[in-house]
Structure 1
Amino acid sequence: MDEHIRGTYFQARRFSHTFDRYGITAIAAIAHDLGKKSAPFVQYLKADVKARGSVQHAIGGAIALFSMKEEVEDERIIMAAAIVAGHHTGMPDLRTVFTEKIPKAPQYLKAIPDLSQMEMQIIKDILKRFPGLPLGGKSDSKSSFAYKEMLMRMCFSTLIDADFLDTERYFDYGKSIKRQGKAFSIHQLDEQLQNYMLELRREGRDKEINKYRNEVYMACREAAKQPLFFRALVVPTGLGKTLASIAFALEHAKQFNKKRIIAALPFVNIIDQTAQKYQEVFGKASVLEQHSQLSYTDDKEELMGRSRLAAENWDSLPIIVTTTVELFESLFSNRTSKVRKLHRLANSVIILDEFQKLPIHVLAPIFQALHILMEHFNVTVVLCSATPLSFENAGLIGNMGAPIEIFENRNQLFECMKRVEYIRVEKPLTVSELVARMKEHPVALCILNTRKDAFRVYREAIRQKVNGQHIYHLSNRMCPHHRKKVIEQIKEDLKNEKSILVIATSLVEAGVDFDFPAVFRAMAPLDSIVQAAGRSNREGKLDKGAVFIFELIEGGMPGGIYRKGTEQTKILLDHHGTAALHEPWIFEEFFRSLYTLGGDDLLDSYGITSLKPFSFETAGRLFQMIDQNTVSILCKNYKSENGQIEKLIRMYKEALYLTKEWYREAQLFAVNEYVDGSFFKENQNQLEKVSEGWYIWHGDYDMKTGIMDMDEGGE
């Protein structure tokens, strides 16, 4: 145990030295396993048969620390006690540690202070050696509490990671060694990027659009040298934001001693694309792609093994590509598995791509957390989008101040990049009329507001099919493995200039590099319409692409803020016309009016920012990026290669329990459905429950459109 405490202590100090100047992590590391000194735990160790978890120990260290409270009046003791109390079960609300957990602890743990005199003396020495926490005055007490909350989260994360790693080193030294593979340094990665960009410029010298891409790239390079930690890169679609933003991040990391770059995106299909681009530039050994639909069991290579280990704590690899859900739910979670990687955010550059897609109901707590990270943990945040967002609403960004734009002449750039003409269809269309209009274009993309509408239009398009034109369907009715294959086929057809019609939902709007001459978009919120337009004439091959904005008779519409945004867009277009969609000021007006419509709790629907300080467990329970309950449904009858689904179902039937890897791989072949939605309610007889939130779908799966309701026919 002494060896383990030393190992945990030195790892934790190494991880936390840049942000924990007060010794909180050191105290927690010394105290975290003191509960193992109890007589029942010693007996448990000596027993021939051990029931894991039968003897409590985690709260023992908290009891030892709490016993010092009267002798040593220092809030660091209280903070460390809460961290120790949760290092197995999750970070508790601070209040419950001292009103419930310690008073209700087993009697045998009450003896821990007497058994830990040496460690308690070491802790007293640490308190003297490290400076105390700064005192927050009344005027800034809220921000002081917010900082201390984040500091506790970071220290908790550090202890969890150090504890896991030292335990792993003892029990599985081979696994521990595997973590230590070499990755390129930030300087080496930047050199690789510069060489890659030189080659790109040589190849695309004659293309007009490359002049603008190079301007954006060079602006990012120059802006990165400034000590400004809250930036925005808002430029039109197709100008290389993916590479320009990573150029900013690498240059900035060199200048200001950042250790890691974290690119967070709203949708898995964009992550796939972004990660592939980064891996093409930097190599797989330097880029970790992490999301729920990536399995590390596909590949037996050593590299995949290292990636799986790095995904646990974001160690060793300098570039992380993940979802905004993974990033922010980890930031507000109290669970050890989620929180373990959190301390890696310190000294990083966080790129929030397509940030306008962040869910509006949690924007206030998200920006409050980002503010603390920037102010106290050497984090730089870059907001990337093709949609200018209004930051005038103080509730959105609190007292952060608006981000400084990287590309200062963005309005001029939007003026130069008018690559499409917006055409508003005057009267609402039936499904048949919409398809007839689309058929006038040999190559077209149509984006609908709901899966049901996309299916209706696809079915009608098949009925009216023109010889030689291939028709594709894309929606979340299809599992991720299926969608990815279809997207790749569409790109191949576009490259080969084939006649195709793609009917999709909004999943293609952000980050999917489609380039269609004509796009049809059902009336939607302003930012969705402009994102859809980014799928037209992306490479500037035409004088103007055509974007048709239409209303569908009996068309569906998501509720909440999406519906309100659509209504507001119609008002703006009625008043200003479609020409205004090229003007950045219309976005300011749109978002400003949207925030006003939303009410006081629009940006913090769960009241996270109003919770009592140090309510970690409560915040973790309340905070949800997706504000509706969904379940994952494994599509048994999807035709996967290599019998992957059959293998997953066999494992489910035979295994004693399902591993994280099972769930991760199953997500590739699963469709998410709302618990209160009609599909889930009306098809119970075809659903087999696997575990909480997971089902197997025994119904049909159409290889063109995905899961089918009982009353639907496939094409």
Structure 2
Amino acid sequence: MTYHAHSGKLTDESDWQILSHHLTRVAARAGIYGSPIGLEGLAKIAGLFHDLGKYTADFQRRLHGINLRVDHSTAGAAVLMKMVPRPVREIAELVAYTILGHHAGLPDKFNEFGHCFLRRVREFEDRLDPVWKDQLSFDLGDLQMRELMGKLSPEKRIAEFELSVVTRMLFSCLVDADFKDTEAFYDALEGRQSNREWPLLQDVLPAFLAAFDAHMAAKSKDGEVNRLRGDILAHVRAGALNEPGLFTLNVPTGGGKTLASLGFALAHARKWDHRRIIYAIPFTSIVDQTAAIFRDILGEDNVLEHHSAIDEEHIEERWGRDKLKLAMQDWAAPVVVTTNVQFFESLFAARTSRARKLHNIAGSIIILDEAQTIPRPLLKPCVRMLDALARLFGCTIVLCTATQPALDASNFPDGLKLDGRELAPDPGKLSARLKRARIVRVGAMNNPELIEAIRAEPQALFIVNSRKHALDLYKEGKNAGVDGLVHLTTRQCAAHRRLILGDVKARLKNGETCRLVATSLIEAGVDVDFPGVWRAEAGLDQIVQAAGRCNREGRHPVEDSIVSVFSAPDYPPPREIAGLIGDMGRVIPKHEDLLSLGAIADYFGEVYWRAGPELDAKKILEGFKINRDGTDFAFRCVAEKFRMIESGMEPVIVEFDNDAEETVTELEFERISSGVLARKLQSYIVQVPPKARRLLIDNGHVAFVRPDIRGDQFAVLKNASLYRQEVGLMWEDAAYLAAESWQI
């Protein structure tokens, strides 16, 4: 009997994929992916064993169209665990996790459900045709990773976590190899070709460096600020000669941090042969901005921008005779610009769609822009992951920020070894030289008082802590006759916000009246320059970010460039921000200048001291243990708990322009991949509360497009009147409009 991995079109099976061919090809490809990270042998074993469960009559009948439910993912893991000698059992378990999870995702070692590692392996009944042993050649001596074992931390609790990361990397090698071999088979069957080829970073690096140098040479060198930026860039690039590992880049706003970090990454990659450059950025709006800068310098086809607002895990993966839909990209591009959410949630993911890219993160230069925005309840796991990437997998990681948090081991439990790894020239002096504003606390202000303050300033930025406050303040200002008023909020889709920011920048440049009311999305990295800023009370890190929008280009005297910090009694801050306000309050008496590095360091010390155990609030690190019975890794449980954004918001697509309308129309055509359409629509998403979206759907204002083929992935706004140019999506009007429509 001939065993097949995937069926073809012909009934004589002549175009079907032979199972042994699939297994050997996946093993070879997985080994190639694993080789640079010390996992070649384990990856080959995983590839050879992953589909052993297809060596059964039931699975072959299923390929012939008989409706049978067949678990083909357990066999390889169960057989492997029975075959391995005791000394390598723990390492074999790492491979077994990946085999068990190569379709449904990495499992927990044990839980109350039937899909856990232990139950599946223990309850496995071997019905495999023994012919598999004759068709596959393998050596269990490959179950070793001496190089990686030598790098593991001597501290048991850290080494346990590091082995879980090793498993994730191995899983990535396997599932990416499996996806691509299957894709290649169906491409050949259908006579198509998937365009997945990206240039290697080292091949295009000479051109990148030349383009970067040309770009910098064209920039103005006049003025103190531009000369200082040039000095910073030269110093940072010189630091590229340092050995790979962990770095900090502490450059105040206005110091050219983005281009300096890119200059470092290019020079460091040339020196140390890194495989790609990954920028992880906290907010989608800055991803757009940064990706545009990089594309302009490095070329349109060399930069992958990945920040889909529609969760790609929900893209249906169809294994079948007619087509295969791949769930997400593999980050093979030489330069990747993404969000912190995509980056960290992928690293802690259990599902194949997110974990697939991880082996391409290894060996990268990772720039974490605005590193202080890592959510504090997840800070310890994130720091532990960064340390593992640097020490085990050859990554260089730059914590790049204008408000450097105290993440070093000297003042942060389980912190990073950052002593002597600062890339910027004398951050203290830089902070003083680049100081553009001063902070003044002005006490409590209600909306009428804020409106009078707005009226008094022809150009000013007002930042509040909630979308509700921003909307109320904007509406009351308009009703009071304040002109030049602009509203910026996540009620607006990203494409809309880009237009608004373009208009704001033009008004500021031309000296026109511009009074911007915004939420905190304006703070981190958005390049606007107001002569004055008003900021609702928050943590010092947010206040400092707000100050970065005040006198950004140094056109006004520092003493006249004021960040007025007010409290808003009618709009109590969220619990998290209230705690940070308290931390800031304890720092204020100690420092005259709240923008000094000393004040910022004290502030983060207060935050981390107060947070304590809450820095791993979900007990992520407790999910990975090793005991006398072997590993006890809770991959699935951890993935469910690791969420960087806890808002629970749900997406609504707004047909804001012609491009959005055309893409929504394309949802009707089954031949177009959901993944492609999701990426095209990511700039047209507004995140709304779940109850609000349900109300919108129930009242006919929002509908899922083609749920028969797309599921509940694409919820599109049908009532255009709910989206307004000045304020965005007004989901609160859903029930009112439905009632009004009924009365009519």
Please report the TM-score for the alignment, with normalisation by the length of structure 2: 0.84
Say whether the 8 Å CA contact 1:312–1:341 is kept in structure 2: yes
Determine the C-alpha separation between the residues in 1 that align with 2:408 and 2:86.
50
Say whether the 8 Å CA contact 1:22–1:133 is kept in structure 2: no
Deviation at residue 67 of structure 1 after TM alignment:
2.6
1:376-525 equivalences under 5 Å are 376-391=392-407, 396=412, 398-402=414-418, 404-425=421-442, 427-465=443-481, 469-525=483-539
Structure 1 pair 181–411 and aligned structure 2 pair: CA distance change class (3 A)? closer
Question: In the alignment, what sits opposite 1:583?
Answer: 596
Determine the C-alpha separation between the residues in 2 that align with 1:265 and 1:387.
15
Moved more, 665-674 or 68-77: 68-77
Deviation at residue 515 of structure 1 after TM alignment:
0.8
Determine the C-alpha separation between the residues in 2 that align with 1:113 and 1:589.
66
Structure 1 pair 244–139 and aligned structure 2 pair: CA distance change class (3 A)? closer
Question: In the alignment, what sits opposite 2:733?
Answer: 710
Question: In the alignment, what sits opposite 2:10?
Answer: none
Determine the C-alpha separation between the residues in 2 that align with 1:346 and 1:447.
39
Unpaired runs of 5+ in structure 2?
Answer: 1-18, 313-324, 626-632, 705-710, 738-744
1:221-240 equivalences under 5 Å are 221-240=237-256
The answer to whether the aligner puts 1:23 opposite 2:37 as a matched pair is no
Q: Which amino acid aligns with 2:213?
A: Q
Determine the C-alpha separation between the residues in 2 that align with 1:37 and 1:395.
56
**3-state DSSP of counterpart to 2:241:** coil
Determine the C-alpha separation between the residues in 1 that align with 2:734 and 2:586.
38
Deviation at residue 437 of structure 1 after TM alignment:
1.8
**3-state DSSP of counterpart to 1:313:** coil
The answer to whether the aligner puts 1:341 opposite 2:357 as a matched pair is yes
The CA deviation string for residues 556-607 of structure 1, in whole angstroms up to 9 with x for no partner, is 244232111123324544x257x41232111111111122222x43211110
Question: In the alignment, what sits opposite 2:273?
Answer: 257
Say whether the 8 Å CA contact 1:31–1:119 is kept in structure 2: no
1:531 maps to which of 521, 524, 545? 545
The answer to whether the aligner puts 1:372 opposite 2:388 as a matched pair is yes
Say whether the 8 Å CA contact 2:148–2:392 is kept in structure 1: no
Say whether the 8 Å CA contact 1:224–1:251 is kept in structure 2: yes
Question: In the alignment, what sits opposite 1:61?
Answer: 76
Determine the C-alpha separation between the residues in 1 that align with 2:409 and 2:94.
34
The CA deviation string for residues 522-541 of structure 1, in whole angstroms up to 9 with x for no partner, is 22211111111111111122
1:30-49 equivalences under 5 Å are 30-45=48-63, 47=64, 49=65
**3-state DSSP of counterpart to 1:100:** helix
Determine the C-alpha separation between the residues in 2 that align with 1:363 and 1:446.
29
Structure 1 pair 667–22 and aligned structure 2 pair: CA distance change class (3 A)? closer
Determine the C-alpha separation between the residues in 1 that align with 2:49 and 2:697.
52
Say whether the 8 Å CA contact 1:22–1:131 is kept in structure 2: no
Moved more, 254-263 or 435-444: 435-444
The CA deviation string for residues 86-116 of structure 1, in whole angstroms up to 9 with x for no partner, is 11111112346552113444x4xx1327332
Question: In the alignment, what sits opposite 2:722?
Answer: 700
1:191 maps to which of 184, 204, 210? 210
Question: In the alignment, what sits opposite 2:686?
Answer: 671
Q: Which amino acid aligns with 1:402?
A: L
Structure 1 pair 175–283 and aligned structure 2 pair: CA distance change class (3 A)? farther
Determine the C-alpha separation between the residues in 2 that align with 1:118 and 1:712.
67
**3-state DSSP of counterpart to 1:185:** helix
Say whether the 8 Å CA contact 2:229–2:256 is kept in structure 1: yes
Q: Which amino acid aligns with 1:194?
A: D
Determine the C-alpha separation between the residues in 1 that align with 2:495 and 2:456.
32
Moved more, 616-625 or 384-393: 384-393
The answer to whether the aligner puts 1:565 opposite 2:580 as a matched pair is yes
Determine the C-alpha separation between the residues in 2 that align with 1:455 and 1:553.
14
Q: Which amino acid aligns with 1:357?
A: T
Deviation at residue 618 of structure 1 after TM alignment:
1.4
Determine the C-alpha separation between the residues in 2 that align with 1:629 and 1:44.
39
The answer to whether the aligner puts 1:642 opposite 2:654 as a matched pair is no
Structure 1 pair 41–679 and aligned structure 2 pair: CA distance change class (3 A)? closer
Moved more, 347-356 or 516-525: 516-525
Determine the C-alpha separation between the residues in 1 that align with 2:371 and 2:491.
25
Unpaired runs of 5+ in structure 1?
Answer: 297-307
Deviation at residue 410 of structure 1 after TM alignment:
0.7
Deviation at residue 399 of structure 1 after TM alignment:
5.0
Say whether the 8 Å CA contact 1:631–1:693 is kept in structure 2: no
Q: Which amino acid aligns with 2:229?
A: R
Question: In the alignment, what sits opposite 1:302?
Answer: none
Q: Which amino acid aligns with 1:620?
A: A
Say whether the 8 Å CA contact 1:67–1:113 is kept in structure 2: no
Please report the TM-score for the alignment, with normalisation by the length of structure 1: 0.87
Q: Which amino acid aligns with 1:372?
A: A
**What is the number of equivalent residue pairs in this alignment?**
681
1:608 maps to which of 602, 620, 626? 620
**3-state DSSP of counterpart to 2:288:** helix
Question: In the alignment, what sits opposite 1:77?
Answer: 92
Deviation at residue 216 of structure 1 after TM alignment:
1.3
Determine the C-alpha separation between the residues in 2 that align with 1:571 and 1:98.
49
1:93 maps to which of 80, 89, 108? 108
Determine the C-alpha separation between the residues in 2 that align with 1:21 and 1:552.
54
Structure 1 pair 94–25 and aligned structure 2 pair: CA distance change class (3 A)? farther
**3-state DSSP of counterpart to 1:255:** helix
